Amino acid sequence: MLAVLVVMCAAAVALSSSSPAARAASVGQLQHKISAGRGRISSLSGTVGAASQRIGQLDANIAALARRLNRIQADLVAKRAELAKIRGELSAARIRLAKLVAYETYAEQVLSKQLVATYESDRPNLVSVVLSATGFQDLLNKLSFMQRVSKQDRNVVGQVRAARRAVAAEATALGKLEVRQQALVADVLAQRNALARTNASLQQQRQAVARFRNAKASELAGARAEVGHLQSQLSQLEAAQAALARREAAQQSSGSSGSSGSSGSSGSAPAPAAGSGPVSSGGFTFPLPKSAAPPPGAWSPDQGVDISAPGNTPEYAVCSGTIVLHGIGGFGPWAPVIHCDGSIDGYSYVYYGHAGPLYQLPIGTHVGAGQVMSSIGPGDVGISTGPHLEIGFADASGSPIGSQTAGTMLSLLQGAYGG
């Protein structure tokens, strides 16, 4: 109260010493400032209200996202269980594949030893057996022995072919399991990444809107305090002005009564103022870099199609599929066989003859069309007169189907080369 009285006295002194026009200007300025302050308060109140509404919307979106996250989390748990099952199957498939590859290697070694022994020894024929027999019983024994040896050779060859077919089938199954596993992992990661990005974006938006609202709310509080201070000044000024008017009126009344009959004029109080790769055609990819291969006129049909190219030139997968075998008779130890995911004009297996060791991928690897999977062998690989690729269709054991399929392969190669 003492402070208010002091301010009022000071205002009264100031008003008494100032002109009526100056006093009116001071009141008008305060009223103008108060009006502007109230307009600013109204604008800031609307801004803060809109920001609060936006935060409410973001909170609702975040809550909806949380519910979606719960649903996806349940789905992820199921997919993790499926993934664990697939991993178990994949592990078992790898073990079976390793056993089949080992058995195939053993069978091929037995066959190789048998072939070497056959070539190194002088294999008897029917005439030599008859001539060398010492009697009829001896002749029967030797003929029976020849039949058993021939049957054993056929059994060994059949076991090797069966083993190669089993390896190819198991490798294909392994490739499919790997594809399924990769798809599940990619799906899980994609969902997690999408949800993480959405959640981060919503949280960032909410934080930004909250900072904006807090800043505007602080400005609103400051504007209200300033208007309150101006209102207080105006009230004090109006009270001082009213007290001064009353004092002047009392003085005029006293002067009129003390000077009766005089002709002096009386005054009146003033009124206050107011943000070179592989080429393909029709789902078939050319197996070599186009820049490294001669034009189609230089290719020659064989059991497949022969295409000359420099040694160590990378070889591409003509289709998406699984590498099921390495090494084909006459084509060298690194020649791969790929089992395509889909049929190519009725054929499923493609062999790459005379391949070298560079870029080789292990059996059971699933590759995409156009992926590097082997290379042109340097020098003479297998029965060869120089670096080149013989590519053609094979059966499940990796053996070329024959020259009758070379025309189909040649058409596919020409279409991809010109694409």
Give me the phi and psi of 301, to 5 degrees please. -70, 145
What was the pLDDT predicted at 189? 77
What was the pLDDT predicted at 322? 96
Closest by Cα among 336, 416, 414 to 375: 336
Helix, strand, coil shares of the chain, percent, nearest 5, are: 65, 15, 20
What was the pLDDT predicted at 375? 96
What was the pLDDT predicted at 255? 60
Rg of the chain over all Cα atoms, to the nearest angstrom? 50
d(CA 65, CA 187): 18
Q: Please list the pLDDT of the chain residue by residue as tens digits (419 residues).
A: 445 444 455 555 454 555 554 555 566 777 778 878 888 898 898 999 898 999 999 988 888 888 887 888 787 788 778 878 887 887 887 888 888 888 878 877 777 776 666 666 555 666 666 666 677 777 777 778 777 777 877 787 788 788 788 888 888 888 888 788 778 778 877 887 888 788 888 899 989 999 999 999 998 999 889 888 888 888 887 777 777 777 877 776 666 555 444 333 333 334 333 336 788 887 899 999 999 999 999 999 999 999 999 999 999 999 999 999 998 888 999 999 999 999 999 999 999 999 999 999 999 999 999 999 999 999 889 888 899 999 999 999 999 999 999 999 999 999 999 85
What was the pLDDT predicted at 68? 81
d(CA 386, CA 380): 5
How big is the chain, counted in residues? 419
SS3 206: helix
**What residues have CB less than 8 Å from 382, skipping those under 6 apart?**
330, 331, 332, 335, 353, 354
AA letter at 316: Y
Query: Given the structure tokens 């399929």, which residue do they identify?
Result: 405
Closest by Cα among 167, 149, 170, 171 to 159: 167
Q: How far is CA 189 from CA 202, 215, 225, 337, 368, in A?
A: 20, 38, 53, 32, 21
pTM of the model: 0.49
What was the pLDDT predicted at 267? 39
Three-state secondary structure of 374-400 = EEECCCCCCCCCCCEEEEEEECCCCCE
